[in-house]
Amino acid sequence: MAYNGNPQILDDEDLQEETLVNDYQEQINYEGGSELERGDSLGGPADLRAQLEAAAAPLEYQASLETKFASYDNYCSLFHYILNSDGPVDIEQPSYYWAWDVIDEFIYQFESFCRYRNRVARTNPGDEEAQVLKENPNTWGCYSVLNVLYSLIQRSQINEQLAAQKRNEDPTAVAGDYGSRPIYRMLGYFSIIGLLRVHCLLGDFSLALKTLDDIEMNKKAMFARVMAAHLNTYYYVGFSYMMLRRYADAVRMFSHILVYVSRTKNFQKGGNQAGFDAIAKKTEQMYALIAICVSFAPTRLDDTIHTVLREKYGDKFNRLQRGGPESLPVYRELFQSACPKFISPTPPDFDNPSLNIDPVDHHTEIFMDEVKNTLFNPTVKSYLKLYSTMDLKKLSSFLDVEPEKLRSWLLVNKQRSRQVRWTEGGLLDGEVVNGSELDYAIEGDLIHISEAKQGRRLVDWYLRNLARAY
């Protein structure tokens, strides 16, 4: 942990870290308990307790199509009862972990079903299962899932409560009858994290970040008490930043959670094997993503993270940093292994299989277009660092490309180097900074090179004058 010169802040952060570790140990004990013990912690009618237990339990990987349909119907019935009963449901507060498990499993089944349906439509559109899927387009529909999450948030008034907390006001004053009940408050809270995930899976990265406007990304947040929620939140926020080309913010998010995971690794093996495997897989993905981000926007990393990157990727990491055509397959491989399992917002076309594409392939191509725009960035920088002015044609001869093609590339790359970097406020807020250590301007066939600090002043001047113009 970096020392910032304030011993009180350092002590407070260590205390928060210790609290999170204790919470994580408590979670492991919870996960290690029997189903009976977990069920007894819930109050209310026996049949409702059974539904709540079932909602949090993972569906078998090889579950039949009939079982998947039945699971969807059970979720619809449960959420309808919770949201539309005459007044709030009278049930004791579930644990933090149960509330997260319900929302997490609900979204996981939705994601898995969408990918399964898309795969069937592309590969076996004439099968009997394909016909059943075609006749039931609304089962596990995107609208239904989003409606549940938004309804839980609205019923619980959780955004209003979080906003009141940020203003140092009493959240119970805006909670209402439903939001004052723990079951609604916790389901509403984790529905916000669920929306972040769903919007990211659908490819709407700006809206994904917007959903967290009222949640503060720090160790005091409620999601930080649940390891899986903590990990997933930072993963999807970091990935959304990366896809919006805000690489510094993405690195900040990935670094925060990876350092925390490294500090709690001694406790992770005390939980169930599935939970440990999920943590290991997610951290592996984030190391791949942080390698990509650093190749786009070089920055200093925590020593622990830098060491792991060198150990895990070695030559691949060097190829990313060198750029050029040989880096393309590495970018593709790392992205496809680390990105979310994207889904389509609409059911596939079973009558025209050729029209259905794999959403992961679609987003991979979008990402690779961005990679190609920055492919020769390291090579060009190595030349520009040697000069204060340089002839465009001379540089194009070094790179063996047409001068006008190089001009277009330089202009695109200059625009790409302007990043929004978070300082305060919502996750989408921030100020424009130069993400490169060099800046340049093109006048005719001359390239004028300057340090990024000077370029930053030029950007600030431009933005001030643009504001005055309007």
Condensed to tens digits (0 to 9), the pLDDT of residues 29-50 reads 444 433 323 333 333 455 777 7
Residues 6+ away with beta carbon under 8 Å from 258 = 283, 286, 287, 290, 302, 304, 305, 308
Q: Are residues 384 and 308 in the same domain?
A: no
pLDDT at 229: 92
The total domain count for the chain is: 2
Predicted pLDDT at 89: 86
Same domain, 25 and 129: yes
Question: Do residue 325 and residue 427 come from a single domain?
Answer: no
* Neighbouring C-alpha atoms within 13 Å toward the C-beta of 375: 16
- pTM here is 0.84
Tell me what the mean pLDDT of segment 19-30 comes to.
Answer: 52
What are residue 450's DSSP bridge partners? Answer: 439
Q: pLDDT tier at 160 (50, 70, 90 boundaries)?
A: very high
38 found inside a domain: no
Kindly report the backbone phi and psi dihedral angles of residue 436, in degrees, each rounded to the nearest multiple of 5, phi listed first. -115, 155
Kindly state whether residues 115 and 97 are assigned to the same domain: yes
pLDDT of residue 409: 81
Domain assignment present for residue 236? The answer is: yes
pLDDT at residue 453, as a whole number: 47
Q: Does residue 318 carry a pLDDT above 50? A: yes
User: Tokens for 35?
Assistant: 């189903």
* Residue 210: inside a domain: yes
Give me the mean pLDDT over the 211-217 stretch. 92
Does 80 reside within a domain? yes
Using the Cα atoms of residue 277, residue 309, residue 299 and residue 266 in order, give the sign of their dihedral. positive
Q: Does residue 19 register a pLDDT over 90? A: no
Q: Is the pLDDT of residue 73 over 80?
A: yes
**Does one domain contain both 76 and 184?**
yes
Rg (alpha carbons) of the chain, rounded to whole number:
25
Confidence band, pLDDT 50/70/90 cuts, at residue 341: very high
Domain range holding 386?
377-469
Q: What is the CA 8 to chain-centroid distance, rounded?
A: 31
Question: Across the strands, what pairs with 286?
Answer: none
For the four alpha carbons of 377, 383, 386 and 391, in that order, the dihedral sign comes to negative
Q: Which two tokens stand for residue 470?
A: 């309007």
**pLDDT per residue as tens digits for the range 260-290:** 888 877 655 545 566 678 888 999 999 999 9
CATH of the domain at 459: 1.10.10
- In this prediction, residue 332 carries a pLDDT of 96
Same domain, 301 and 422: no
- Which range, of 1-10, 110-119, 391-400, averages the lowest pLDDT? 1-10
In this structure, are 137 and 273 located in the same domain?
yes
- Give the residue-averaged pLDDT of 385-407: 84
pLDDT of 364 > 60? The answer is yes
Rounded to a whole number of angstroms, the distance between the first and last alpha carbons of the chain is 44
Report yes or no: 246 and 254 within 8 Å, Cβ to Cβ. Answer: no
Average pLDDT for residues 356-371, to the nearest whole number? 94
Domain end call among 374, 396, 425: 374
Mean pLDDT within 443-451 = 81
Residue with tokens 């695109």, as numbered in its chain: 412
Residue 338 in contact with residue 286, Cβ under 8 Å?
yes
79 located within any domain: yes
Are 174 and 245 in a shared domain?
Answer: yes
Residue 387 shares a structural domain with residue 425 = yes
For the residues 240-262, what does the mean pLDDT come to?
Answer: 93
Give the H or E element holding residue 434: strand 431-434
Residues 323 and 346 reside in one and the same domain: yes
185 in Cβ contact with 156 (< 8 Å): yes
Q: What is the pLDDT of residue 461?
A: 40
Q: Is residue 146 part of a domain?
A: yes
pLDDT of the residue at 434: 77
Residue the block writes with tokens 């930072």: 234
Residue 271 in any domain: the answer is yes
Domain boundary among the residues 352, 374, 396 is at 374
What pLDDT, on the 0 to 100 scale, is given for residue 54? Answer: 81
Rounded to the nearest 5 percent, the helix, strand and coil shares of the chain are: 70, 5, 25
Residues 304 and 383 in one domain: no
Q: Determine the pLDDT at residue 386.
A: 81
Q: Is there a domain that residue 4 lies in?
A: no
**Of 351, 374, 397, which residue constitutes the final position of a domain?**
374
Q: Are residues 381 and 365 in the same domain?
A: no
Confidence (pLDDT) at 372: 86
- Which residues are registered as beta bridge partners of 431? 421
